[in-house]
Amino acid sequence: MTQEIFRTATSADAPTFSPLYRQIKGFLIRSLEAGEWGPGDAIPSEWELAERFNVSQGTVRKAIDEMAAENLLVRRQGKGTFVATHDDPRSFYRFLRLVPDHGKIVQGVSDAFACETVTATAEVAEALGLSVGDDVIRVRRVLRFGGEPLVFDQIYLLAESFAGLTLEALQSGERSLYSSFESDYGVRMIRAEERLRAVAADEESASRLGVELGEPLLRVERTAYTYGNKPVEWRLGLYNTRHHHYRNELG
């Protein structure tokens, strides 16, 4: 992006009270969204970006620091700054906070058993910014840890963003869902909002999770967003917390 384009866009798009580093951050995010740098790619150095936008390196550094704190970028000592990717094993636990009460965390295995196009209910439509009755793709799966079924998920996806998704594709390979969505569909989950509540296991969830009918489960509703704060996934997960708990770090 040239200096002239930067000045024009800044005056047209950014409010006058927006700090300069936030304007730089906005341009960088739009570059990520446009695919200028893909997941795992190195971005230009701070010096190069400062030249590109005709600002100080300190301004660029502040923008990158904030993006790194939001898990959009990853700094690697002595190597540079890279676009965050769901292929990084650490990203798996950004979006799944279920950990064992005792013992070591083990990698989960996704067991998808259904993938179909359905019509959006009022709940799904509201979460994804759709109209009731619009097509969405629903994935049903069980997440197993150490062979034990711990999460029963019903996942609703924007049909336009995941056209061609099949059960066979979901059942092949060992990548996480978000890693598959990123590499196969170019959809990267940037952030998510969750709502948690306690519920009693119904017949299907009890059967899927191997618990007693009426046993307490943790219900987790999640809306996941990609670049541009666009919602692309809403999921309803039922968690077996008999030997696990939901862990979140605050501050």
pTM above 0.85, yes or no: no
pLDDT of residue 11: 39
For the domain made up of 3-83, the CATH class stated in words is: mainly alpha
Mean pLDDT (the chain, rounded): 88
Contacts of 16 (CB under 8 A, 6+ apart): none
Q: By the 8 A CB rule, do 137 and 115 touch?
A: yes
Summarize the confidence of residues 50-70 as an average pLDDT.
93
> Longest Cα pair distance anywhere in the chain, in angstroms?
66
Helix (H) or strand (E) holding 97: none
Per-residue pLDDT of 6-56, as tens digits, reads 443 443 444 456 799 999 999 999 998 888 998 889 999 999 999 999 999
Per-residue pLDDT of 194-223, as tens digits, reads 999 999 999 999 999 999 999 999 999 999
Pick the CATH number of 89-246 from 3.90.1300.10, 3.40.1410.10, 3.80.30.20, 3.50.50.60: 3.40.1410.10
- Which residue intervals of the chain bear CATH 3.40.1410.10? 89-246
Per-residue pLDDT of 84-100, as tens digits, reads 888 766 655 677 788 88
Helix (H) or strand (E) holding 52: helix 46-53
67, two tokens: 């993006």
239 vs 90, residue with greater confidence = 239
Closest CA to 205 of 231, 241, 178: 241
Helix (H) or strand (E) holding 215: none
- Which residue intervals of the chain bear CATH 1.10.10.10? 3-83
Alpha-carbon distance 192 to 153, whole Å?
16
pLDDT of residue 172: 83
- 151: buried, middle or exposed (CB in 10 Å: 19+, 13-18, 0-12)? buried
